[in-house]
Amino acid sequence: MKIIPIKAACGITGFESPAATYTEQGLTLDELLIEHPSATFIGRACGDSMRNVGIMDNDILIVDRAYRYAHLDVVVANYNGNFVCKIIDIKNKRLISGNESEADIMIHEHDEFAIEGVVTRSIRLHKPSHLLLE
């Protein structure tokens, strides 16, 4: 993939034509978005419980297992057999939703719980992909 190093303004004023000073950079989306290829997996968000952190229903999640998760990181975890995307509150042993209408989930000793990885990126598709049809 060729990257054109021009920022696109999202305002009404527009932006310079890419042809004006066209320069190509050899960079793939993999190189741009994935830091640890052998430790990274991609999943899809389901639901709106993380909308206040910018993750919407059907967004693509890039999850990196090489990162050591930290307090208040967005993670994908296995919680009692379900994969969930939440904010990890290490100090209070709970999972926090990015939506005020969702209750926090306390992590108890009897729960099956494992962090699968840290969400490093999320991608919103503005047009559905035939590759992601269920």
Could you give the residue numbers annotated as active site?
Answer: 49, 86
- Residue 6 φ/ψ, nearest 5 degrees: -125, 130
Q: Maximum Cα–Cα distance for the chain, whole Å?
A: 62
Measuring CA to CA, how many Å separate 84 from each of 9, 76, 130? 34, 5, 24
Task: Give the closest residue to 129 by CA, choosing from 66, 64, 44.
Answer: 44
